């Protein structure tokens, strides 16, 4: 993870969001994908904490929105489809770069 660009790191989170969407209705796998996505975001925050306030702010917002989506969007009305649209950019950028 340390050797990846920020785009690539976020693309990995996006893949877990897709898995969450796929496993809706199966709490065991849904939670496992959520947990992996959350762990990745925490790792990304740790790896990029010296990149400045705006990057850190964006990453911590993502963490809050991911948790909100997992809990059903009760606080911010976040849906997995919203997160998928956000992370699609990073997934597509990573694919183009390879």
pLDDT in tens, 2-33: 899 999 999 999 999 999 999 999 999 999 99
CA distance 93 to 21: 21
The answer to whether residue 36 is domain-embedded is yes
CB 41 within 8 A of CB 66: yes
Q: Which domain holds residue 66?
A: 6-97
If one counts the domains in the chain, the total is: 1
The answer to whether residue 20 is domain-embedded is yes
The answer to whether residue 1 is domain-embedded is no
CA distance 51 to 33: 27
pLDDT in tens, 30-85: 999 999 999 999 999 999 888 888 989 999 999 999 999 999 999 999 999 999 99
The answer to whether residue 24 is domain-embedded is yes
The answer to whether residue 37 is domain-embedded is yes
The answer to whether residue 25 is domain-embedded is yes
What is this structure's pTM? 0.92
The answer to whether residue 29 is domain-embedded is yes
> Tokens at residue 13, please?
């989170």
Q: What local confidence, expressed as pLDDT, does residue 2 receive?
A: 85
């Amino acid at each position: 993870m340390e050797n990846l660009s920020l785009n690539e790191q976020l693309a990995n989170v996006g893949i877990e969001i897709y898995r969450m969407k796929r496993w809706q209705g199966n709490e065991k796998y849904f939670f496992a994908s959520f947990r992996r996505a959350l762990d990745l975001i925490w790792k990304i925050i740790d790896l990029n904490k010296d990149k400045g306030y705006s990057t850190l702010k964006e990453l911590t917002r993502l963490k809050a929105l991911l948790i909100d989506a997992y809990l059903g969007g009760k606080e911010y009305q976040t849906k997995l489809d919203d997160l998928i649209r956000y992370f699609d950019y990073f997934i597509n950028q990573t694919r183009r770069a390879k």
